[in-house]
Every structure is written in structure tokens, then in C-alpha cells.
């Protein structure tokens, strides 16, 4: 994907969640992983790229298109993407199926029948076919996250943004969800994800960005960043998280 | 063990008290024949209370929704105005509001229907309480739900319609049902502007017959017949909107 980020800044009160981030990636990158300590700015960068928040300063360009500022165009920007949250954020009053159908019908203007068929197709592909009529509270964390992924995927987003998609899951469920994401990567889906799963970042991402204190500390190919980190911060971080 | 003892104790106390009250009330020596000639007055009063309740209930929901929308709106002025309205209405006696509404305000615009003015004042009063209940319900929906709605590309109006309101309805039902029951009973204050509602009729029956208990006891049954269906409906709706199984 072609991504160009210039001087991106976002403050929450005194906290500099994004502090002048510059990043240019070419078309060869299909999957980008954001890594780094918690509170380092990964989620903020994802939300800014996804158009969920407006930057204080700076600009984002994806495939040559500059991210708009006004709410109306920003909503169109969001609609092209799919967004997955750490805590799933399914709508608890709707069944799994309705959670997926709602955006297809109300946001993307599909006919109800088409949306229903599409939702069933995606859910079946994610191995969740028997849980369609259940409410989120009746599903395990891993199942909820797979439904949330189906919701983010159903309209075939041009870019999928995953914010620590497995952080709230226990190991077995983590693996299930990572398998699915890996499958999407294989199928050519363009993805930016923030993650603490270093093995996944290393194995599946074409490029890795390390964020700390709202700044881009280092970026490069997965092999470069993991095997030959240039900065001491990244080296210290990796030696800590890879130790166990 | 202690929990069972405590719950048994509570049941015994409640049952004994209840039995005692029923026994005292039921064994009193009533003179029902004294109020028999006035039974039609009581019934017509009950019908007026029914009318006032139903119309004010609908109107107060309307007022409550408007006030809630005003409080949640983006600009600065309307939240301030709605907040002030709610504080003034909740902080002052309904009795005074009815008197001012009828003798000063309605009079100034030459409107002399005590029934009509009574309904409007009650709705404005109850609407203030409802708006706080509605606002609490909407603000109790977690931020993550709003964010999720934003992420899938819903507009603000769609977020309210498909995500926030369906979840808030269930949360506000019990409190709103309580407020509706209050509204029914508060309508008895309309006697001060001579609306011939249920309580006013009972007062008149008492004045004419000198049979105090016989005149006022029908109020127990009459008001309960109005408030109990509200409770039942609220419970039914709560079950219908239940989603955490």
C-alpha cells in the first residue's frame, strides 16, 4: 500500500500520543505491523489513519488520497476501511448475524437479502456458522473477535486496521484469531495492525514500525528490525519481550 | 445459612405486617351506604384521572425527549437552558407550578380550560424528570459502543437509532415506569385548579357524606388499577429488550 504520513501530531491534554510521526511506505508493503510499548502511540496512529480521530497537525495520504478534515468526507474515508478493536466492541443488543448485516445495509446500502447472504458466507468462512443467532454475551472472547473481524471484513475494505486484535484473548483463542488474520494476509488483504505478538509481526508483516512515546523510533522490514535493530530502545524492548 | 435466616425473617415481618394491615382495614365497620349515592361521581373522577394520565404520559415523553436532545446537543446555549429548566422544575413544588400555570400564565393568554392547563403543567413537570432518566440512560452506553459505531461508518443519527437508543431503552425502563406511576398520582394535585379528577371527587364525597374512609378507600383501588398496568408493561418490555442471556 502506498502510505505517506507527514508530521502527524495528536495531543490528549499533556499526553503526546502522536508526536510528529513521519512514515513513507511503498506499494510493496501489504501488511504493516506497529509494535512498541503500551501507551507508545500504536492505537492513536491506527485511529488517526482510520479517520476515527482528527490529527492536531500533519497529513496522511493513502494511495495518493489525502485524508479529509470535514466529518462528511471523513465518514466516507472510514467506510472504505475496516476497523477491529482490542475489546471486540460488538453491539450487545444484536445477534452475531445482525452485527454484520447492520453496516452492510445502513452504511453500504446493500439490500437486506444480499447482506444476509454475504454475512453468512463470511461467518462460515471464519468457522462461526453455528453461532449466527447468538448474542455477543453468549459467545467466548475468541468467537466475539471472529464475529467482529467478520463485521470489519464483510464489505471488502480496501484497508483493514486491527488494534491489538488478540490482546484480550487467552492463548488458544489468540491462535484461532491469528490464524484467521494470517489467512487474510495470504489472500492479499491490506492490513495495518498493532500487536504484542512478535512472532506474528515477524512472520506475517512486510514492514514493521516501532513506536515509543508517540514517536516513530525505527521502521524497516521485519527481518531488519527484529534481527538488526539500530536503536537501543528497540533492542532493549525486543530483548525484554523475546526473553520468555 | 445466615442469608436464609435473614430472608426468612424479612418474609415473616412482611407477611405479618401485611396480614395485620389487611385485617385492620377489612374488619373496620364501614358505612358503604353513605357513599353509595355518589358512586357515579367517583367513577367519573376516575375517568378524568385516566384521561389526564394517558395524555400527560404521552406529552411528558415528548417533553422529556426534547429536553434530553437539548441537553446533549453540541451548542452551548440549549444545554444550559434545558439544564436550568430541569433544575427549576425539579426544585419547586408542583402545587405552585399548577397555580402559576393556570392563574398567571394560562390566564395571560386567555386560556381557561383547567383540564387542558393541568395536563400541560403535569407534562412539563414530569418531562423534566424523564429527561434526566433518558439522559442518564444514553450517557450510560459505553464510549466503546460510540467508537465502534463511528468505525463502521454510521452517522450520528444512525448511531442513536441503531446502537444507542435500543440499548438505552432497556436501562431506562424501570426508572421511567416509576416516574409514570408518580405522574398518575401527582395528577391528584390538579384539584387546586378544580379539575374534577378522582381525588377531588373523593374529597367532595367526604364533605357531603361525612364518611371519610368510605370516600377515600376507593382511591386505593382506583389508582392501583392505573399504576399496576404500567408496571406490568414495563416488565414485559424489559423482557423483550433483554439481550444478556
* Assigned CATH for B46-240: 1.10.3720.10
Strands A215-221 and A207-212, sheet pairing: antiparallel
Where are chain A's structural domains? Answer: 3-241
Per-residue pLDDT at B87 exceeds 80? yes
> CA triplet B53, B57, B61: central angle to 5 degrees?
170
pTM: 0.86
Q: Do B151 and A87 touch (CB under 8 A)?
A: no
- For B96-153, write each residue's pLDDT tens digit: 999 999 999 999 999 999 999 999 999 999 999 999 999 999 999 999 999 999 999 9
Q: Do B154 and A93 touch (CB under 8 A)?
A: no
Which residues on B lie below 8 Å from A73 (Cβ)? Answer: none
Residue B92 gets which letter from DSSP? S
- For B13-30, write each residue's pLDDT tens digit: 999 999 999 999 888 888
Where are chain B's structural domains? Answer: 46-240
Give which of B151, B170, B171 to mutate to test A binding, by max A Cβ within 10 Å: B151
CATH class of A3-241: alpha beta
Q: Do B145 and A91 touch (CB under 8 A)?
A: yes
Q: Do A103 and B148 touch (CB under 8 A)?
A: no
- Read off the pLDDT band of B239 (50, 70, 90): confident
Which residues on A lie below 8 Å from B162 (Cβ)? Answer: 91, 102, 106
d(CA A56, nearest CA chain B) in Å: 19
Q: Do A93 and B151 touch (CB under 8 A)?
A: no
Per-residue pLDDT at B245 exceeds 70? no
d(CA B135, nearest CA chain A) in Å: 19
Q: What is the pLDDT of residue B244?
A: 64
Residue B189 gets which letter from DSSP? G
Q: What is the pLDDT of residue A241?
A: 84
Arithmetic mean of pLDDT, B217-245: 88
Which residues on B lie below 8 Å from A108 (Cβ)? Answer: 153
Strands A31-35 and A57-62, sheet pairing: unpaired
Arithmetic mean of pLDDT, B152-181: 93
Q: What is the pLDDT of residue A173?
A: 86
Which residues on B lie below 8 Å from A135 (Cβ)? Answer: 243-245
Q: Do A107 and B154 touch (CB under 8 A)?
A: yes
- CB-based contact (8 Å) between B150 and chain A? yes
Per-residue pLDDT at B243 exceeds 80? no
Grid coordinates given for B150:
463511528
Which residues on B lie below 8 Å from A103 (Cβ)? Answer: 152-154
Q: Do A107 and B150 touch (CB under 8 A)?
A: no
Q: What CA–CA distance (Å, rounded) separates A77 from A55?
A: 14
Strands A57-62 and A3-12, sheet pairing: antiparallel
Which residues on B lie below 8 Å from A92 (Cβ)? Answer: 167, 243-244
Select from A76, A90, A106 the Cβ nearest to the Cβ of B154. Answer: A106
Q: Looking at this predicted complex, what is its ipTM? A: 0.90
Q: Do B148 and A89 touch (CB under 8 A)?
A: yes
**Rounded mean pLDDT for each run of 10 residues along chain A, 244 residues in total:** 90 88 89 91 93 92 91 91 92 95 95 95 88 92 92 93 90 88 92 92 92 90 89 89 79
- For B35-78, write each residue's pLDDT tens digit: 889 999 999 999 999 999 999 999 999 999 999 999 988 788 99
Amino acid at each position: 500500500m502506498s502510505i505517506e504520513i507527514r508530521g502527524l501530531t495528536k495531543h490528549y491534554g499533556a499526553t503526546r500520543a502522536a508526536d510528529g510521526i513521519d512514515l513513507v511506505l511503498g506499494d510493496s508493503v501489504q501488511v504493516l505491523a506497529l509494535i512498541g510499548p503500551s501507551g507508545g502511540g500504536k492505537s492513536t496512529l491506527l485511529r488517526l489513519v482510520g479517520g476515527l480521530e482528527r490529527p492536531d497537525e500533519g497529513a496522511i495520504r493513502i494511495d495518493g488520497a489525502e485524508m479529509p478534515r470535514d466529518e462528511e468526507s471523513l465518514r466516507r474515508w472510514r467506510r472504505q476501511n475496516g476497523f477491529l478493536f482490542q475489546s471486540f466492541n460488538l453491539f450487545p443488543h444484536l445477534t452475531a448475524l445482525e452485527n454484520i448485516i447492520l453496516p452492510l445495509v445502513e452504511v453500504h446500502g446493500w439490500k437486506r437479502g444480499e447482506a444476509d447472504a454475504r454475512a453468512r458466507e463470511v461467518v462460515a468462512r471464519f468457522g462461526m456458522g453455528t453461532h449466527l443467532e447468538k448474542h455477543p454475551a453468549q459467545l467466548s472472547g475468541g468467537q466475539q473477535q471472529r464475529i467482529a473481524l467478520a463485521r470489519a471484513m464483510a464489505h471488502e475494505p480496501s484497508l483493514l486496521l486491527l488494534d491489538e486484535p488478540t490482546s484480550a484473548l487467552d492463548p488458544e483463542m489468540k491462535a484461532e484469531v491469528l490464524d484467521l488474520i494470517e489467512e487474510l494476509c495470504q489472500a492479499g488483504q491490506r492490513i495495518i495492525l498493532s500487536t504484542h505478538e512478535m512472532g506474528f509481526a515477524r512472520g506475517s508483516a512486510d514492514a514493521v514500525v516501532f513506536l515509543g512515546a508517540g514517536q516513530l523510533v525505527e521502521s524497516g522490514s521485519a527481518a531488519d528490525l527484529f534481527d538488526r535493530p539500530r536503536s537501543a530502545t528497540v533492542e532493549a524492548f525486543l530483548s525484554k519481550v523475546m526473553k520468555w | 445459612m445466615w442469608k436464609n435466616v435473614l430472608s426468612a425473617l424479612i418474609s415473616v415481618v412482611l407477611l405479618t405486617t401485611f396480614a395485620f394491615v389487611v385485617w385492620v382495614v377489612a374488619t373496620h365497620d364501614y358505612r358503604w351506604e353513605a357513599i353509595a349515592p355518589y358512586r357515579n361521581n367517583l367513577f367519573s373522577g376516575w375517568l378524568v384521572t385516566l384521561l389526564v394520565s394517558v395524555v400527560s404520559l404521552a406529552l411528558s415523553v415528548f417533553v422529556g425527549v426534547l429536553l434530553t436532545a437539548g441537553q446533549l446537543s453540541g451548542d452551548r446555549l440549549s444545554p444550559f437552558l434545558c439544564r436550568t429548566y430541569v433544575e427549576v422544575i425539579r426544585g419547586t413544588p408542583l402545587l405552585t407550578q399548577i397555580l402559576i400555570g393556570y392563574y398567571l400564565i394560562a390566564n395571560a393568554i386567555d386560556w381557561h380550560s383547567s383540564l387542558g392547563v393541568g395536563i400541560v403543567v403535569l407534562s412539563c413537570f414530569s418531562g423534566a424528570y424523564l429527561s434526566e432518566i433518558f439522559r442518564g440512560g444514553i450517557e450510560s452506553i459505553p464510549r466503546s459502543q460510540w467508537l465502534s459505531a463511528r468505525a463502521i461508518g454510521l452517522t450520528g443519527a444512525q448511531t442513536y437509532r441503531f446502537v444507542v437508543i435500543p440499548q438505552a431503552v432497556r436501562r431506562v425502563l424501570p426508572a421511567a415506569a416509576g416516574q409514570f406511576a408518580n405522574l398518575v398520582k401527582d395528577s391528584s394535585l390538579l384539584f387546586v385548579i378544580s379539575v374534577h379528577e378522582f381525588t377531588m371527587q373523593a374529597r367532595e364525597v367526604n364533605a357531603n357524606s361525612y364518611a371519610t374512609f368510605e370516600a377515600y378507600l376507593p382511591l386505593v383501588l382506583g389508582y392501583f388499577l392505573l399504576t399496576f398496568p404500567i408496571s406490568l408493561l414495563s416488565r414485559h418490555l424489559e423482557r423483550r429488550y433483554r439481550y444478556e442471556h
